[in-house]
Amino acid sequence: MELLDNLALGFSVAFSFQNLTYALLGCLLGTLIGVLPGIGPVATIAMLLPITFHLPPTASLIMLAGIYYGAAYGGSTTSILVNLPGEASSVVTCLDGYQMARNGRAGAALSISAVGSFFAGTVGTIIIVLFAEPLTRMAQKFGPADYCSLMALGLVAAVILASGSVVKAIAMIFLGLLFGLVGTDVNTGAQRFTFDIPELSDGIDFAPIAMGLFGIAEIVVNLERHLTRTGGTIKVTSLWPTMEEVRRAVPAALRGTFLGAALGVLPGGGPTLGAFSSYTLEKKISKNPGQFGKGAVEGVAAPEAANNAAAQTSFIPMLTLGIPSNAVMALMVGAMIIQGIQPGPEVMTKKPDLFWGMIASMWIGNAMLVIINLPMIGIWVKLLTVPYRFLAPAILLFCCIGAYSLQNSTFHVMQVAIFGVLGYVFVKLGCEGAPFLLGLVLGPQMEEYFRRAMLLSRGDAMVFLQRPISLGLLITTAVLLLLMALPSFKRARKEAFVEEEG
Amino acid sequence: MNRFLSKDFLSGLMFIGFGLVALYFGQKLALGTPVRMGPGYVPRMLSLTLLGLGVLVCIIAVVSGSEPVERPKWKPITLVTLGIICFGLLFERAGLIPALVVLIMVASLAGEEFKLTEVIGNIVVLSVLCTLVFKVGLGMNIYILRGVW
């Protein structure tokens, strides 16, 4: 069977000593940042992009993926033990996880969350394996016009599921697209928006933008808010849950896994949405909803499984179609482009070792994380006591050295400073960075496909409506845009994100 | 609170600003025809759309109101940016250690607590760590202290 052959290839790649090391390194780093409040996965991956520049492509993507799902595990640890969500996706875990810990069930909550996450990660990986080939085959039939419409749909859908004002988010996409145009025009060689700066003729490098917008801006905002840590640390006793707890957690984790996996595939979806939705679902179908918020096992098992399943399945659109569905995936696309790999259906056919190796390593990484998180829990708790005033300057320093190492030029360090300021302005004005990043990553490709489509159709824009695939995608985009204008949908969207902001 | 100092109105202005800048600097780029687009075609389209969206954001902000902007604290953003710029200026001219010392000093001032002994400790630990990792470990071609190593 072809599928098994592919998986065998993947595991042989992932089990090489080098890739195992990078997977472990990624998982450790991910857990670390998940535990430390104030540095999210987006900021970390942004700041580590320069390092991956010096690694082989497979190893670098394996490491970045490890950081991504490692952060999900680490975030749940702090949610349960100190009531501090390291990540947005583990905010809901705080509600019942911390209460369980206060009732003396900290160990049980931790192991349920870790094992639930592992199970969800396994299912998520299987889903990627099953969907990757059909989706890739479908994507290979796409013409330039279809691709252009697909990207439009991806960008619009990402906005709908994100929080905040829709018009502003769409404007941010266009701003990102414009920034993506800086550099030499591929077709004519003309210099666009380069202001005669030679460093800009290859375009603005992706890594300094991401580091500035997410890394620096996040540090500055944290310094402003003066991060303080409250709440006593809770001692972990036995890691074993009782039979009763297991009986209640298993079905909840199952539901969380499938809901999370489904939501992860959607553009704009991902771990946070998955966790929130599954918590709401559990509360709705529970026989005694009054227990939620007071230490209900279901309230830990379901969202933890959901955020991990979603973290896995959100790789599907990125790996098969080259369309990132959230900021982390946009960074992964950026990392691939830095390595000279154009994300899209060709990755699977032309670089099967990279594609399947990465998928296999996700499962290995998930297994590593259970070990990293459960027996080593004490070390992570200790890390919580490192004050932010030591961390912030250190992170800044690594950012600067990382930016310099991209091309051994201080020009990139200055770029980080500029985009740090821009990122700060975005935060202050309530403009989200994620749509900007998606636009930036997709901009050059989208222009390329658009121009090619128009050339093939001899300048007739109707081509986008005449090709059935493109038409279908555009209709979906239009329906989504119309939906957003409806008041009832607006309200529902607002409600879905209310808890998150609190 | 002034309704023109709201988050949305100011972001609208920002989009309009970026749109105008892109239009201005893109005006020399050849537009071409829809069949054979010049380098200026897509930028023109995008900047006009951005301009339009900016106006829309402004109108919505004035009509239905939006949250007021939080007053920015100037200290963190200024000092952090200044620290990075100093690092950039010193790194090649003077070497890693001087750049590191200035960056950590300036960045530590950006926080609310500043204890000199702690900052010096931080600098020593980071200097040793960075030298070991980047110069010895990764073998990067950088000066630790220009003229010395």
Of residues A379, A378, A368, the one with CA closest to residue A114: A368
The pLDDT assigned to A500 comes to 42
> Considering only alpha carbons, which residue of chain A is nearest residue B131?
A401
Is B144 domain-assigned? no
The reply to whether B78 and B133 lie within a common domain is yes
- A430: alpha, beta or left, given left = phi > 0 and alpha = psi -120 to 50? left
Calculate the CA dihedral of residues B7, B8, B12, B13 and round it to 10 degrees: -30
Give the Cβ contact number of residue B97 at 10 Å.
Answer: 20
Mean pLDDT of B42-55: 92
Q: Residue A431 and residue B69: Cβ atoms within 8 Å?
A: no
| Closest CA of chain B from A37, distance in Å | 16
Measured CA to CA, the distance from residue A372 to residue A81 in angstroms comes to: 16
The reply to whether B78 and B60 lie within a common domain is no
Please name the member of A195, A390, A430 whose beta carbon is closest to the beta carbon of B67.
A430
Helix/strand/coil for A375? coil
| Closest CA of chain B from A158, distance in Å | 18
Measured CA to CA, the distance from residue A188 to residue A309 in angstroms comes to: 44
In this complex, is the C-beta atom of B76 within 8 Å of any C-beta atom belonging to chain A? yes
In this complex, is the C-beta atom of B64 within 8 Å of any C-beta atom belonging to chain A? no
Q: A125-164, pLDDT tens digit by residue?
A: 888 888 888 888 888 788 888 888 888 888 887 776 666 6
pTM: 0.81
Q: Sign of the CA dihedral A38, A226, B2, A424?
A: negative
Measured CA to CA, the distance from residue A25 to residue A62 in angstroms comes to: 10
Q: Sign of the CA dihedral A291, A293, A294, A300?
A: positive
Is A363:A125 a contact under the CB 8 Å cutoff?
Answer: yes
| Closest CA of chain B from A234, distance in Å | 27
> Considering only alpha carbons, which residue of chain A is nearest residue B118?
A390
Measured CA to CA, the distance from residue A134 to residue A141 in angstroms comes to: 11
Q: What is the DSSP letter of A86?
A: S
The yes-or-no verdict on residue B28 having pLDDT over 50 is yes
Measured CA to CA, the distance from residue A298 to residue A285 in angstroms comes to: 11
| Closest CA of chain B from A135, distance in Å | 30
Measured CA to CA, the distance from residue A422 to residue B147 in angstroms comes to: 36
Is B142 domain-assigned? no
**Pairing assessment for the beta strands A191-192 and A183-184 based on DSSP bridges:** antiparallel
Please name the member of A178, A192, A429 whose beta carbon is closest to the beta carbon of B11.
A429
Q: Between A and B, how many residue pairs show a Cβ–Cβ distance under 8 A? A: 177
Is B147 domain-assigned? no
Please name the member of B54, B80, B88 whose beta carbon is closest to the beta carbon of A396.
B80
Q: Single out the residue in B36, B64, B92 at which a domain terminates.
A: B64
Query: Which A positions 457-476 lie with beta carbon below 8 A of chain B?
Result: 458-461
Interface test with B, best of A401, A442, A454 (most B CBs within 10 A): A401
Q: B93-140, pLDDT tens digit by residue?
A: 888 888 888 988 888 888 777 788 888 888 888 888 888 877 777 777
Measured CA to CA, the distance from residue A434 to residue A173 in angstroms comes to: 9
Q: Where does A81-207 show beta strands of DSSP type E?
A: 183-184, 191-192
Domain that holds residue B55: 3-64
The reply to whether B48 and B95 lie within a common domain is no
pLDDT in tens for each of the 502 residues of chain A? 677 788 788 888 888 888 888 889 888 888 887 777 667 778 778 877 887 777 888 888 888 888 888 887 877 877 777 776 666 677 788 778 788 877 778 888 888 888 888 888 889 888 888 888 888 888 878 888 888 888 888 888 777 666 667 888 889 999 999 998 888 887 777 888 878 777 777 778 888 888 888 888 888 888 887 655 544 556 666 777 777 787 788 888 888 888 888 888 776 667 777 888 888 888 778 777 777 777 788 888 888 888 888 888 888 888 888 888 778 888 888 888 888 888 888 888 888 888 888 888 888 888 888 888 777 777 777 777 677 778 788 888 888 888 888 778 888 899 999 999 999 999 888 888 888 888 888 888 888 888 888 888 887 888 888 888 888 888 888 888 887 767 666 666 666 555 443 3
Tokens of A457: 């159709």
Q: Sign of the CA dihedral A405, A411, A417, A423?
A: negative
The reply to whether B47 and B88 lie within a common domain is no
Q: Which residues of B touch A455 (CB under 8 A)?
A: 35-37
In this complex, is the C-beta atom of A490 within 8 Å of any C-beta atom belonging to chain B? no
Q: Which residues of B touch A53 (CB under 8 A)?
A: none
The yes-or-no verdict on residue B4 having pLDDT over 70 is yes
Q: Residue A223 and residue B84: Cβ atoms within 8 Å?
A: no
Is B149 domain-assigned? no
Is B7 domain-assigned? yes
Compute the radius of gyration of chain A from its Cα atoms.
Answer: 22
Is B148 domain-assigned? no
pLDDT-derived band of residue B52, with 50, 70 and 90 as boundaries?
Answer: very high
Q: Residue A181 and residue B107: Cβ atoms within 8 Å?
A: no
Q: Which residues of A touch B26 (CB under 8 A)?
A: 192-193
The yes-or-no verdict on residue B7 having pLDDT over 80 is yes
Measured CA to CA, the distance from residue A351 to residue A154 in angstroms comes to: 24
| Closest CA of chain A from B89, distance in Å | 7
In this complex, is the C-beta atom of B31 within 8 Å of any C-beta atom belonging to chain A? no
Q: Single out the residue in B46, B64, B82 at which a domain terminates.
A: B64
The reply to whether B51 and B30 lie within a common domain is yes
Is B44 domain-assigned? yes
Measured CA to CA, the distance from residue A314 to residue A331 in angstroms comes to: 13
The pLDDT assigned to A155 comes to 84
Cross-strand pairs, A191: A184
Number of domains in chain B: 2
Of residues A299, A169, A184, the one with CA closest to residue A245: A299
The pLDDT assigned to A417 comes to 92
Tokens of A275: 């966790």
In this complex, is the C-beta atom of A420 within 8 Å of any C-beta atom belonging to chain B? yes
The reply to whether B60 and B78 lie within a common domain is no
> Considering only alpha carbons, which residue of chain A is nearest residue B37?
A451
Please name the member of B30, B41, B84 whose beta carbon is closest to the beta carbon of A413.
B84
The reply to whether B79 and B37 lie within a common domain is no
| Closest CA of chain A from B25, distance in Å | 6
Q: Which residues of B touch A421 (CB under 8 A)?
A: 77, 81
In this complex, is the C-beta atom of B11 within 8 Å of any C-beta atom belonging to chain A? yes
Is B12 domain-assigned? yes
Spell out the alpha helix ranges (H) of A195-270: 206-210, 217-225, 243-265
Q: Which residues of A touch B100 (CB under 8 A)?
A: 397
Measured CA to CA, the distance from residue A183 to residue A270 in angstroms comes to: 32
